[in-house]
Amino acid sequence: MARPGPVLRQPPRPVRRRRSRHRPSRPADHPRGPRPGRRVRCPRRRLSGLGTDQADRLTTAGRHQGATCVLNLATDVAHLRDLPTDSSLDHWWADTPASHRRDIRRQWHRACEAGLVLDPLTGHQMLPYLAEFTGLAIGTAERHGTALYGPDMFEQLAQVPGAVLLAARHHGHLVGGMYAFLHNRCLYLWASGIDYQHPLGRHAYTWLMTEAPRWAIEQGAHHIDAGRANYQAKKRLGYHPQVLRTVVHLPTDADTTADALTNLSRRLGEQALHHHPNLPW
């Protein structure tokens, strides 16, 4: 499955004092290179969100290019499902775990019968509704003990090609929504917000997690990525976990940083393996 390319992050270069203009010139036959006694530092680079094959290739390439310390660490889990090629949800339901399929379909049907409808908003269409959605997203995140979002974040990302707000409406009221990105025939679910005070709020998340793939199928998508965390809910919905890795290039004297990153990977793995014991972390 094709995924967006890795993100290369490199810290800004430190500001250095300007040297005097009146320094002696280098002789024409003087060999170029670092001055004697000066330490050459490898720049720190981090490439994250990689599949296992991508990470292995980048690790090998880094070592071939002379990087002294290259870390290849598991750091996250994506939750993926293939989408059926026909426009119905029959194959989608068939691939949903049988132990949860009946309850998920029941919640979806009840919400549909109660009048919940999907309103996909793309680009500038979503701007008038982002303040309301931001409030729902902040409230939903706080229920899980985190504060992740702000209105400026959603407004800026609305201009990204493929950005869509899948709004769940009941007689014009925003009951919930999912902020997502359609890229390379894959729908990436990113942020959700639910109005749990609304009578349909308890069905809205499951309903959206069914309507999102239905909308993606209509757009010609082949896959859906349900995002990170919330392992148990996505396992019930039939998503398959895929380990994401981070490749880090460090200077030779960064043992403390390397140990800290390795320990962080281990602790993240403990959380993931609690829900997916057979995950190749």
Residue 35 in this model has a pLDDT that exceeds 80: no
Q: Where are the beta strands (DSSP E) in 109-251?
A: 116-122, 163-170, 173-183, 186-194, 223-225, 240-250
Looking at per-residue confidence, does 67 or 196 come out higher? 196
Distance CA 14, CA 75 (A): 28
Segment 77-92 mean pLDDT: 88
- Which of 3-12, 25-34, 36-45, 92-101 is the most confident on average? 92-101
pLDDT in tens, 235-269: 999 999 999 999 998 877 788 999 999 999 999 99
Residue 186 in this model has a pLDDT that exceeds 70: yes
Residue 209 in this model has a pLDDT that exceeds 50: yes
Residue 87 in this model has a pLDDT that exceeds 90: no
Q: Tell me, what's the pLDDT at 14?
A: 46
Q: Which amino acid is it at 222?
A: H
Residue 6 in this model has a pLDDT that exceeds 80: no
Residue 38 gets the label, from left (phi > 0), alpha (psi -120 to 50) or beta, of beta
Segment 45-52 mean pLDDT: 88
Q: Which two tokens stand for residue 173?
A: 């009221």
Looking at per-residue confidence, does 254 or 98 come out higher? 98
Average pLDDT, the chain: 84
Residue with tokens 């309903």: 207
Segment 155-175 mean pLDDT: 95
Strand partners, 189: 180
Q: Tell me, what's the pLDDT at 146?
A: 72
Residue 34 in this model has a pLDDT that exceeds 90: no
Q: Which helix (H) or strand (E) holds 45?
A: strand 45-50
Q: Which helix (H) or strand (E) holds 60?
A: helix 52-64
Segment 130-152 mean pLDDT: 85
Strand partners, 194: 176
